[in-house]
Amino acid sequence: MIDIKARPFPYPLDPDHTALVVIDMQRDFIEPGGFGDSLGNDVARLAAIIPTVAGLIGFFRKQGWPIIHTREAHKPDLSDCPPAKRNRGTPSLRIGEEGAMGRLLVTGEPGSQIVPALAPIDGEIVLDKPGKGMFYATGLHEKLQGMGITHLVFAGVTTEVCVQTSMREANDRGYECLLVEDATESYFAEFKKAAIDMITAQGAIVGWSTPLANLEEAFA
């Protein structure tokens, strides 16, 4: 075990049983013309973390540790997108409608792809998920169990929605979770702060958080 400087106390990383999860760094959330933009959000906030996420991915590749990339995306017939999700709010375009990068949040469309700077390479897992959490209707837990993974490091967007949901799901399944603070972002700065505060509260009730520099320092 290697202790990583973290909040609220050092995170015990197990190098032989650790994987990185990069949540939803896809064009629909990060680039103009995508779903995030259709909701009226400043997507530049999310795009700003791309270099740090790339650095984190590079760190894991150097170590030879597993990497999982998730994408929030639905079947073309939207059979896995309930009305309670699709009809919520007042976006300029809804899930499944045609946007600048194809149909929004639909598997196989250009907008559902990971941004080019963070593109997966051969051997890395790419997982399409119909919900906010990475375990819902994906079979990921069984896959991670088969790989012997017990520790998960998280990055991606948005902090308070898909990242936090996935971390809570992982915690319930017994994984030790670490969030890399500068490799995650929200459309709302106050939401990111609140989510990290909730994750790390009460003795890491959901998990730990740390900047990328602390992870790199531990292996320097």
Active-site residues, by number, are: 24, 129, 162
Tokens for 101, please give them. Answer: 């990068």
CA distance 41 to 45: 9
**DSSP line for 79-103:** TTS-HHHHTSS--SS-TTSEEBTEE
- Rounded distance between C-alpha atoms, residue 71 and residue 166, angstroms: 12
How far apart (Å, rounded) are the C-alpha atoms in residues 105 and 40? 16
Residue 147 and residue 16 in contact, taking contact as beta carbons nearer than 8 Å? no
